[in-house]
Amino acid sequence: MILLLQLPPSSVFTSQESKEKQFRLLVKKRLYLFNKEQLLQIEDGDERKEKLQETFESVVEDYRRLTGKFSIL
């Protein structure tokens, strides 16, 4: 959730959809950098994007589970 603090200040006045997109891109960037070696072994770019999306969805699910325990989201 610390990633939310990394959103640019200008995002305070943007739409919810824009905030979600910024969050999604920030998380995917972090995941890509963390898993770069494994992802680069996948030659097909579409498959690489699919794996990154699957990982993103898993992380979001985990965020929801964790924040749900503390009634944050």
CB 56 within 8 A of CB 24: yes
Is residue 26 in a domain?
A: yes
Is residue 7 in a domain?
A: no
pLDDT the model gives residue 11? 47
Per residue in 5-28, pLDDT (tens digit) is 555 555 455 688 888 898 899 999
Is residue 10 in a domain?
A: no
Report the chain's terminal Cα–Cα distance, integer Å.
11
Is residue 11 in a domain?
A: no
Residue 52 scores a pLDDT above 90: yes
Is residue 65 in a domain?
A: yes
Distance of CA 56 to the CA centre of its chain: 5
- Residues 18, 23, 28, 33: is their CA dihedral positive or negative? positive
Q: What amino acid is encoded at 9 in this protein?
A: P
pTM score > 0.75 for this model?
no
- Mean pLDDT confidence for 41-46: 93
Is residue 50 in a domain?
A: yes
Is residue 39 in a domain?
A: yes
Provide the domain limits for residue 42.
18-69
